[in-house]
Amino acid sequence: MDNIKKAIKHLNHSMSKWDQRTPIPFNEFLEILTARPPEVIRNVFQVFHDMVKFYIGEGIDEHPDDPESIHYVSYDCSKLFVEGADHPFFADRPFANRLISLVEALKRGAQQNKIYIFEGPPGCGKSTFLNNLLKKFEEFANTQEGLRFETVWRFDRKIMGGFAENESIPFLEKLSQLFDNASPENGAFLKEHATPHFNQDYVEVPCPSHDNPILMIPKEHRREFFDDLFKNDEFKWKLSTEKEYEWVFRDNPCTICTALYEALLNKLKSPEKVFEMLYARPYKFNRRLGEGISVFNPGDKPMRQNILSNTMLQRRVNSLLKDSNQVKYIFSQYAKTNNGIYALMDIKSHNTERLIELHNIVSEGIHKVEDIEENVNSLLMAVMNPEDQKNIQNFKSFSDRIEYINIPYVMDLNTEVEIYRNIFGKHIDESFIPRVLHNFARTIISSRLNTRSEALLEWIGNPEKYQLYCDENLQLLKMEIYTGHIPAWLTEDDRKQLTAKRRRKIIAESEKEGVHGISGRDSIKIFNEFYSMYAKENKLINMSILCNFFTKIRQDLSKSIPAGFLDSLIRMYDYTILQEVKESLYYYNEEKISREIQNYLFAINFEPGSVETCTFTGEKIDITEEYLESIESRLIGANVDKNKHLAFRKDTQKEYASKTLTQEIMVEEKSVIETKIYQALLERYVYNLKEKVLDPFLENENFRRAIKDYDKEDFKAYDKKIKNDVTYLVNNLCTKYKYTQLGAKEVCIYAIDSDLAKKFANPQKS
Ligand SMILES: [Zn+2]
């Protein structure tokens, strides 16, 4: 316990002196390590994962109880890609889910010897994506949450002097001269990387490869070492069994650290004494200096010297150690990003050469600097245009070392709308009737999706059955699923058939879409033109303005939009607003309906003509043919012939007698309103009530005019019933569906004038 307290106190202390990066002795480093092992023992893949999760969080599953859920959830990527960014990047739901599964796979260590190429069409924002991602990585890696340690050797004058005394110049001063006298090019490089730090008592030489200090423990002793260090807790179990920690027992320190360790051991004859010279300090990331993160643009010229060495240092070290082969002081530019990120912005020009070199390194697993092997344990990333594939197509072996991640145009309509809001301001919503802004996004997205979806066709079969709500290519259905929404207009059967397997197939299609059509860049320009043309005070943008824009004003765009899409979009819109108007007008007395159904269930067990007291409600019922038919008309629809009434009544009575009464009520002791038959009748009753809710108003010219006059003086002159109905309708549209009064009026008049109720009269349940 004391050790842990001390370690945390020390950590806190070192954090407050962050910029000084004060190295701490190895044994103090071990105290911090034992206090917070999962944070200290992290390679770049683990820390990259932690970074993404830190900013994005766990994600929201809107339907946690759905047994067929494939955990295709909503991630809020704004902290990672939008907040504090010079240029925001918007990750839509399919891409965010892909990114998360990638970082999880990286953490698990399944595929670390690969180059990850984010490939996307021009104008998809991939450079912005990489820039923002690296910016946040740099930020995170330099905070306590992302902190990792690197190796520093501190040579104590007193101890070292002891064995260097036979040299004409003491070892440390020689080292000092070496660095001062290094050639300008190498000198600058060495100063950046391995600048020895002098004071009167010691000299510091940081590891140029940013090795984690735990790698200094000889590989063959590491298991034993950690076994002694940790209690038998969860972390120890993970460390010894999980693939993500294999590197702890597999990786070697860099050649310089290895050689220094061995030389010191040779001189000091005791590992303990060697570890007294081992220090740890925070690994500080600096993209501008290429420290921990390097990003190369195609135009960046290759470095003149790839191998960094220092002949004078080499000679002195050789002489000091009396052995010309023990320490080879050479390393490459890859050392700078070892345990960090090496990234290429576009694969063309010099970056093609860099990618080929990286590929060779990754394929062979090691990288040679002269005859010395160097570790390249970096996260290797690139972004690329599909057309640049030709630059690397001659390298067949690339396929197994390169992992492509598609970064297509936005296909989630909520994200597309979020982009407009971010660029033009949140107030843009006020210029649109609800849903029209999203329909603008749907139109843009329709140009990006494939017109044929095998996954949807296999599931839905014939798209014609949904022609009232959806386009023949089922793009509107797919868009809903990409946003994580399952539309209500699907039949019960299709809803049930949407299994996890089918969902995976549909989402997988997003990997191959969004590579053509209207680009992200263009959609912003188009929206700008549209918005400045039509956003006006006192006139809301509606669907006919939208369609007019895409078919007449910008006729050139209509060839990007699939044929018939806009017509289907209007049908889906009509259907949706009709539901909204009905819901807003619908009012029922729940208790009255309940009593009516209970009485009916009771009454059908008697011959018409009798008078009985209902055992459920206690009401006296005059059971006549008219009485039964009046309730049935609410259940199976009006104007149905007498035979259908009788058949329905007979079936209901049969089910009531054979299942409801004998099983559910008598055996299971359910009350009547808990029974299946009651629930089914209630659903029918409410459904039919809603279906018919508009009927009294459709032919009523007064009602239409009253809506138009709603906020005017003339409204007062209408009779009380109409005034109440109109007020109820408008208020509900405003509160339930976010209409403004102006929008609510317009949408009601539109629904009446377009005769939507008749268009969508649904025979399904009558
Ligand atoms: Zn090293």
C-beta separation of 109 from 247 below 8 A? yes
Q: Cα–Cα–Cα angle for 248, 252, 258, nearest 5°?
A: 135
The DSSP line for 601-620 is: HHHTTS-TT-EEE-TTT--E
If you measure from the C-alpha of residue 40 to the centroid of ligand 1, how many angstroms do you get, rounded to a whole number?
A: 17
CA of 280 to the centre of ligand 1 (A): 12
Give 137 Cα–ligand 1 centroid separation in angstroms.
22
Q: How far is CA 88 from CA 84, 414, 426, 429, in A?
A: 8, 16, 15, 20
Coil, helix or strand at residue 49:
helix
* Predicted local confidence at residue 376, as pLDDT: 85
- Counting DSSP H helices and E strands in the chain, the numbers are 36, 16
Centroid of ligand 1 to alpha carbon of 246 (angstroms): 19
- Quote the ligand 1 centre to 257 CA distance (angstroms): 4
Structural contact between residues 500 and 508, judged by C-beta atoms closer than 8 angstroms: no
Q: If DSSP codes are grouped into helix, strand and coil, which group holds residue 656?
A: helix
Q: Are 43 and 51 in contact (CB under 8 A)?
A: no
Reference 688, options 645, 642, 638, 650; nearest CA is 638
Gap from CA of 93 to ligand 1 centroid (Å): 41
Per-residue pLDDT tens digits for 192-243: 444 444 445 676 778 889 999 999 999 999 999 999 999 999 999 999 999 9
- Say what the pLDDT of residue 187 is: 39
Res 59: pLDDT: 94
pLDDT on residue 522 = 96
Exposure b/e, 388-402, CB count within 10 A at least 16 = b: beebbeeeeebeebb
Distance (angstroms) between ligand 1 centre and the Cα of 264 equals: 14
Rounded (5°) CA angle 252-258-264: 150
DSSP 170-188: -HHHHHHHHHHHS-HHHHH
Best CA proximity match to 413, nearest among 466, 457, 458, 477 = 477
> Considering the entire predicted model, what is its pTM?
0.82
What's the rounded mean pLDDT across residues 578-592?
A: 86
Quote the pLDDT of residue 188.
40
Specify the 3-state DSSP secondary structure of 61. coil
How many Å separate Cα 553 from the centre of its chain? 36
CB 632 within 8 A of CB 624: no
Band (pLDDT 50/70/90 cuts) for residue 256 is confident
Place of tokens 């006729």: 555
What is the mean pLDDT of the segment spanning 33-48?
95
Q: Residue 652, Cβ neighbours under 10 Å: how many?
A: 19
Segment 584-606 mean pLDDT: 90
The predicted pLDDT at position 129 comes to 97
**222-225-229 Cα angle (round to 5):** 135
pLDDT of residue 14: 64
Of all residues in the chain, the percent with pLDDT exceeding 70 is: 88
Count the Cβ atoms, other than its own, within 10 Å of residue 109: 16
Q: Ligand 1 mean position to 374 CA, how many Å?
A: 10
Q: How far is the CA of 279 from the centre of ligand 1 (A)?
A: 12
Q: How far is the CA of 627 from the centre of ligand 1 (A)?
A: 92
**Separation of CA 186 and ligand 1 centre (Å):** 18
Q: How far does residue 192's CA lie from ligand 1's centre (Å)? A: 15
Name the burial class of residue 623, with classes exposed (0-12), middle (13-18) and buried (19+) by CB atoms within 10 angstroms of its CB. Answer: buried
Please report which helix (H) or strand (E) contains residue 643, including its range.
helix 642-655
d(CA 330, CA 514): 47
- Ligand 1 centroid distance, CA of 335 (Å): 9
* Residue 12 φ then ψ, to 5°: -55, -45
Strands 379-384 and 115-119: parallel
Q: What percent of the chain has pLDDT over 90?
A: 64
Calculate how far, in angstroms, residue 125's C-alpha sits from the geometric centre of ligand 1.
37
How far is the C-alpha of 427 from the C-alpha of 429, rounded, in Å?
5
Q: What would the mean pLDDT of 388-409 be, rounded to a whole number? A: 83
Range picked from 14-23, 157-166, 354-363, 756-765 for highest mean pLDDT? 354-363
- The residue among 616, 749, 715, 634 whose CA lies nearest residue 681 is 634
pLDDT band at 392 (very low <50, low <70, confident <90, very high): confident
Residue 147 CA, ligand 1 centroid: distance in Å = 18
Residue 227 pLDDT? 93
171, 335, 203, 184: which is closest to 195 by C-alpha?
203
What pLDDT score was predicted for residue 191? 42
Cα(320) to centroid(ligand 1), Å: 20
Distance 205 CA to ligand 1 centre (A): 10
Average pLDDT over all residues of the chain: 87
For residues 331 and 306, is the Cβ–Cβ distance under 8 A? no
Locate 202 and state its tokens. 């010691």
| Closest CA relative to residue 239, chosen from 260, 257, 204, 214 | 214
| DSSP element (H, E) containing 621 | strand 620-622
The arrangement of strands across the sheet holding 24-25 comes to: 24-25, 278-282, 149-156, 202-206, 197-198
φ, ψ (nearest 5 deg) of residue 352: -65, -45
C-alpha 11 – ligand 1 centre gap (Å) = 23
pLDDT at 168: 40
pLDDT confidence bin for 695, thresholds 50/70/90: confident
Q: How far is the CA of 376 from the centre of ligand 1 (A)?
A: 12
Q: How many angstroms is it from 303 CA to the middle of ligand 1? A: 22
Q: Which whole-number Å values give the CA distances from 180 to 185, 197, 199, 230, 631, in the listed order?
A: 12, 12, 15, 44, 100
Which pLDDT score is estimated for 550?
96
CA of 403 to the centre of ligand 1 (A): 29
Cα atoms in the 13 Å half-sphere on the side-chain side of 205 = 16
CA of 209 to the centre of ligand 1 (A): 5
Q: How far does residue 253's CA lie from ligand 1's centre (Å)?
A: 5
Model confidence pLDDT, tens digit, residues 418-433: 999 999 999 999 999 9
Query: What are the pLDDT digits (tens) for 601-633?
Result: 999 999 999 999 999 999 999 999 989 988 898
Ligand 1 centroid – CA 25 distance (Å): 16
Q: How far is the CA of 331 from the centre of ligand 1 (A)?
A: 10
Q: What whole-number distance in Å separates Cα of residue 684 and Cα of residue 681?
A: 5
- Ligand 1 centre to CA of 150 (Å) is 9
Q: What is the dihedral of CA 612, 670, 766, 572, to 10 degrees?
A: 150
Angle (CA) 618 620 623, round 5°: 130
Ligand 1 geometric centre to CA of 208 (Å): 6
Which pLDDT belongs to residue 371? 77
**Least-confidence region, from 215-229, 246-260, 392-406, 738-752:** 392-406
User: Which position has the token pair 């080879």?
Assistant: 328
Compute the distance between CA of residue 259 and CA of residue 449 in angstroms, rounded to an integer. Answer: 57
From ligand 1's centre to the CA of 105, what distance in Å? Answer: 27
Q: Exposed, middle or buried, 753 (CB in 10 Å: 0-12/13-18/19+)? A: exposed
What torsion do the CA atoms of 289, 295, 297, 298 make, to the nearest 10 degrees?
120
Is a pLDDT exceeding 90 seen at residue 303?
no
pLDDT at 17 over 60: no
The per-residue pLDDT for 397 is 67
**256 Cα: distance to centroid of ligand 1 (angstroms):** 6
**What is the average pLDDT across 436-456?**
97
**Ligand 1 midpoint to CA 176 (Å):** 20
Nearest CA to 633 among 620, 623, 644, 617? 644
Per-residue pLDDT band at 675 (split at 50, 70, 90)? very high
Size of the chain, expressed as the number of residues it contains: 766
CA of 26 to the centre of ligand 1 (A): 15
Ligand 1 mean position, distance from CA 190 (Å): 14
88: left (phi over 0), alpha (psi -120 to 50) or beta: beta
| Full 3-state SS string of 295-342 | EECCCCCCCCCCEECCHHHHHHHHHHHCCCCCCCCCEEHHHHHCCCEE
**Cα(191) to centroid of ligand 1, in Å?**
16
**Distance in Å, CA 490 to ligand 1 centroid:** 61
Cβ atoms 695, 710 nearer than 8 A? no
Give distance in angstroms: CA of 612 to centre of ligand 1.
95
What is the C-alpha to C-alpha distance for residues 274 and 211, in angstroms, rounded to an integer? 17
Hey, what are 250's tokens? 């597999």
Q: What is the whole-number distance in angstroms between the Cα of residue 310 and the centre of ligand 1?
A: 16
Ligand 1 centroid–CA 272 distance in Å is: 19
Q: Taking each helix axis from N to C terminus, what angle separates 234-241 and 219-229, rounded to the nearest 10 degrees? A: 160
Structure tokens at 441: 């996004």
What was the pLDDT predicted at 20?
55
* Gap from CA of 21 to ligand 1 centroid (Å): 18
Q: Give the Å distance between the CA of 185 and the centre of ligand 1.
A: 21
Distance, CA of 651 to CA of 656 (rounded, Å):
8
Distance 528 CA to ligand 1 centre (A): 54
CA 536 / ligand 1 centre spacing (Å): 65
